Amino acid sequence: MRQTNFAIQEAPEHGFEPAPRAIREIEFAPPADYAVPELAELYVNMESSFGKDCHLAIQLACVSPGSGNHQIGIDLVWVASASLGKRALLLTHAMPSRGRMARDGVGVVDDSRVPSTSWDQEFVKLADQEAYLGNLDGWRGPKGAVISPTEIDRHLDELSDFFDMIVIAPPPLNHDPLGTVLARHVDGNIIVVDAERTRRYAAIRLREILTRSGRPIIGAIMSGQRSYLPRWLARLI
């Protein structure tokens, strides 16, 4: 699976004062050319399923660690912004870490259009795009439990005022209850399976969990496919 490199510069911590919020901006390597049409088609299909003018909240649900739902999500919000002119947000369990990144050359963005939330949420922005990442850690209470259904709905309603699409990439559903809970609150769920890791019975169980949520399953994505042909040969086929 494609690796993404981030470069980051420290920004002032945002607080709850009403001043414009300073958020971090990160560099992002766009998806490979062959993936862009598929990602654009995925967005358009979701949009047509629910209505072009609605603000979507979609969950990329997985059962296998490393199944790629975070990477698919960040690629999707990039394509939504860069190719389709949308304002998109990825809520993820795998936010870029300050401590593990180089600090060479990305500035701070003052963006008052990002919601000034009353809950502990960190945002970063993809450089040169109206695409953002938000931290799902803010969707837990003090003891780690998932916040209440009322709070979840309130957060999604608030975010939908600012973004055309909200993509959620939770931890694997068999390791963490967050995705199972959120499945009831989104407009639709997409199953993400790892071609090299997800077992058939686990994929079936994931489908059953999402079906019981009462929200539609709008598709499935397979990630992690490996090509055993050399690149130069694959181009000729």
Model pLDDT for residues 36-67, shown as the tens digit of each residue: 888 888 888 888 877 766 678 999 998 877 77
Q: What pTM did the predictor assign? A: 0.76
> CB-based contacts of 7: which residues, under 8 Å, 6+ apart?
26, 27, 101, 102, 103, 104, 105, 106
- Give the pLDDT band of residue 82 (cuts 50, 70, 90): very high
- Give the pLDDT band of residue 18 (cuts 50, 70, 90): very low
Reply yes or no on whether the pLDDT at 165 is more than 60.
yes
Domains of the chain from N-terminus onward: 22-236 (3.40.50.300)
Q: What share of the chain in percent tops pLDDT 70?
A: 72
pLDDT for position 117: 42
Reply yes or no on whether the pLDDT at 147 is more than 60.
yes
Could you count the other beta carbons within 10 Å of the beta carbon of residue 184? 16
Per the prediction, the chain carries an average pLDDT of 75
Reply yes or no on whether the pLDDT at 91 is more than 70.
yes
What does the pLDDT average to over 140-153? 86
- Give the pLDDT band of residue 129 (cuts 50, 70, 90): very high
Reply yes or no on whether the pLDDT at 83 is more than 80.
yes
What does the pLDDT average to over 112-126? 57
Token reading at 137: 């850690």
Reply yes or no on whether the pLDDT at 120 is more than 50.
no
- Give the pLDDT band of residue 97 (cuts 50, 70, 90): low
Q: What share of the chain in percent tops pLDDT 90?
A: 31
**The total number of residues written for the chain in this structure:** 237
- Give the pLDDT band of residue 81 (cuts 50, 70, 90): very high
Model pLDDT for residues 190-227, shown as the tens digit of each residue: 998 887 777 787 788 889 999 999 999 988 888 766 54
d(CA 66, CA 171): 9
Per-position b or e across 28-65, b if 16+ CB within 10 A of its CB:
bebbeeeebeebbebbeebbeebeeeebbbbbbbbbbe
pLDDT for position 89: 95
